[in-house]
Structure 1
Amino acid sequence: MGCNFSSQSKLQVPEIRASRSITPASQKSEDPYSHIRLLLLGSAESGKTTVLEQVRLLYKQHFTESEYFHRRAFIYHNIFKSIKALCRAMRMSDIQFADPINMGRAQSIIADEHGHYGLFSKDLAEKIKHIWNDKSMQKLYARRSQFNLNDSASYFLNNIDKINMVDYKPSERDLIMAYVPTCGVQNVIFTACNQSFQLFDIGGQKIDRRKWALQYEGIDAIFFCIAISEYDQVMSEDMVTNRLDDALNLLQSISEDPAFATTPIYLFLNEIDVFCEKLSVIPLSKYKPDFKGGDQDDAIDFMENLACEALGKRDRSLYRVYRCIAIDTQMMAELLSTVFKDIAKRKK
């Protein structure tokens, strides 16, 4: 039995009007109608910002030129960070480059301490392409579940010629695939189901979580993202704490917070595709001994049960659980439509 997560239906997303205005949590809205206020939470790299980007694209919240510039910079950074991670993984593996010249190229990539947030030089772009296209590197990439690599690595590396152009402007797909860490508080205002929504996204790293409480007042619903594929990974902040455990503890603290006692929580179990891919290489039972085995669906059921346990004694009517792939726009269109309808129904 395989993972049941693909969305096949052709969806018609209605035209939605959007606003560029921002309403801080500490101020009352000056709009003639009140917003349904949504708080988007989760650990760093859980996919929550991808959810926000999907909302912006699906509900016609257009990007400004400065936002395109910002995301373009991070796309270059994503590419360099990915190839550097692959070079380091190659060095630690039992695989040798098919082309020996790529060994020297990889060493220069590893030694390069620049962040690379702009157009690559011709020499650097050629190095990246040679390393990525090496047959042995592709063998290593097939093992990517064994080390931490951005999910969009192959997407951007395969498109480096298009991206490394002076006039490059990210496509909608590029915007979804790019990893851009959240800084501070972002929010969008949009209309769905004849209701006005305001969705807040706050950084998920530990240093950012102190800002969460500043947005608690007047929240009508919470979106919480967990990247279930991270069951074998540790947090970059301390290189010790298991990422999944951190996410579950975070979910529990939100569920138990008196401020959210009656606030509905919409839980997104993200990266189920990566999770299923990992299972055959990295057994879930190695990190979660309570998992007694089974197929991929059993493993996802187990992860959902862990999340439900973290929600504690919260009434079942106050939470919904969704399995998703946040970068899949078709899937997210259907999921978000369902969620917004449910929220709008609660507000009537």
Structure 2
Amino acid sequence: MLHLDRISDRNYLPTEQDIIHISSVVQTLGISDYVFDVGKIQYCVYDVGGTRSQRKKWIHAFENVDIILFQAPLGDYDKPLREDEDALNMAESLTLFESLVNSRWFVNTAFFVNFTKMDLFEQKVKSRQKPLSQYHPDYQGDPSDVKAGVQFFVDQFQERIKERKGSVHVTVLDATDTAQATLLLQRVVQVAEAKKMRCSSFI
């Protein structure tokens, strides 16, 4: 609402922040791919939908992917799935992550797990209006302790990693913070360069 006058102007041009925030209202459907070069490495980036109906379209299509960027919406710990109100977003993310990280299709793939919507998570936890333990009974920590809440989910994801060759990197970031997003991408590039690979990145 605060930006209505700006974006309704006939000469409106989207800012960098406008473009970043569009992902929160637009659902990814199907598979979108992008190709670009960084240094001597060509990156093939595939953006795929994570809903149950979308997974069937791509789950077996990326056997040779080098890096997977797995987005886990930390701030949605209390939200049900669009397609199943009896399931929670984060519980579904854990199930999907477990199936991917231990899949024979991705045994040599490097994983980056990014906990997004950190600002929303912090706001909810500190308000105590939606206690974490109410939605995730295994959490036994202080209801208002943000760090403990984050660590709970980090542990939950790590517990689902079985024996595998590929590495797993866990980060917590605000996807709308371009500085944090840049740091994450720099880490991805470092992994790609270390492997001297042609990197196919999966988001």
TM-score interval w.r.t. the shorter chain? Answer: 0.7 to 0.9
Residue pair 2:63, 2:106 contacting (<8 A) in 1 also:
no
Runs of 4+, deviation exceeding 6 Å: none
Instruction: Indicate whether 1:268 and 2:114 are aligned.
Output: yes
Amino acid across the alignment from 2:138: D
Residue pair 2:66, 2:108 contacting (<8 A) in 1 also:
no
Q: Give the secondary-structure state (helix, strand or coil) at the position aligned to 1:215.
A: coil
What is the percentage of aligned positions where both structures have the same residue? Answer: 27
Q: Give the secondary-structure state (helix, strand or coil) at the position aligned to 1:183.
A: coil
Match of 1:79 in 2: none
Residue pair 2:75, 2:120 contacting (<8 A) in 1 also:
yes
Q: Distance in 1 between matches of 2:103 and 2:164?
A: 11
TM-score by length of 2: 0.87
Q: Give the secondary-structure state (helix, strand or coil) at the position aligned to 2:99.
A: helix
Q: Distance in 2 between matches of 1:251 and 1:200?
A: 17
* 1:269 CA displacement: 1.2
Q: Distance in 2 between matches of 1:202 and 1:213?
A: 10
Q: Give the secondary-structure state (helix, strand or coil) at the position aligned to 1:340.
A: helix
Instruction: Indicate whether 1:321 and 2:170 are aligned.
Output: yes
Q: Distance in 1 between matches of 2:162 and 2:123?
A: 29
Match of 1:303 in 2: 153
Corresponding pairs, count = 191
Q: Give the secondary-structure state (helix, strand or coil) at the position aligned to 1:234.
A: coil
Listed as ranges, the gaps of 5+ residues in structure 2 are: 198-203
Q: Deviations over 1:156-189 (max 9, x none)?
A: x210011112332322221111132222211211
Q: Distance in 2 between matches of 1:260 and 1:182?
A: 22
* 1:226 CA displacement: 0.3
Instruction: Indicate whether 1:180 and 2:26 are aligned.
Output: yes
Match of 2:189 in 1: 340
Listed as ranges, the gaps of 5+ residues in structure 1 are: 1-156
| Of 105, 108, 116, the match for 1:259 | 105
Residue pair 2:80, 2:89 contacting (<8 A) in 1 also:
yes
Residue pair 1:202, 1:211 contacting (<8 A) in 2 also:
no
- Paired residues for 1:12-27 under 5 Å: none
Q: Distance in 1 between matches of 2:102 and 2:187?
A: 26
Q: Give the secondary-structure state (helix, strand or coil) at the position aligned to 1:299.
A: helix
Match of 1:161 in 2: 5
* 1:219 CA displacement: 1.0
- Which structure has greater strand proportion? 2
Residue pair 1:248, 1:307 contacting (<8 A) in 2 also:
yes
- Which structure has greater helix proportion? 1
* 1:214 CA displacement: 5.0
Match of 1:243 in 2: 89
* 1:193 CA displacement: 4.5
Amino acid across the alignment from 1:268: N
Q: Distance in 2 between matches of 1:289 and 1:218?
A: 37
Amino acid across the alignment from 1:299: G
Q: Distance in 2 between matches of 1:266 and 1:222?
A: 6
| Of 308, 312, 317, the match for 2:162 | 312
Match of 1:130 in 2: none
| Of 125, 131, 141, the match for 1:283 | 131
- Paired residues for 1:1-348 under 5 Å: 157-178=1-22, 179-280=25-126, 281-294=129-142, 295-314=145-164, 318-347=167-196
Q: Distance in 1 between matches of 2:119 and 2:162?
A: 27
Please identify, of 275-284 and 289-298, the stretch whose mean Cα deviation from structure 2 is larger. 289-298
Q: Distance in 2 between matches of 1:184 and 1:167?
A: 32
Q: Distance in 2 between matches of 1:172 and 1:162?
A: 14
Q: Distance in 2 between matches of 1:214 and 1:263?
A: 14
* 1:228 CA displacement: 1.2
Structure with max Cα Rg: 1
Q: Give the secondary-structure state (helix, strand or coil) at the position aligned to 2:153.
A: helix
Q: Distance in 1 between matches of 2:32 and 2:177?
A: 22
TM-score by length of 1: 0.52
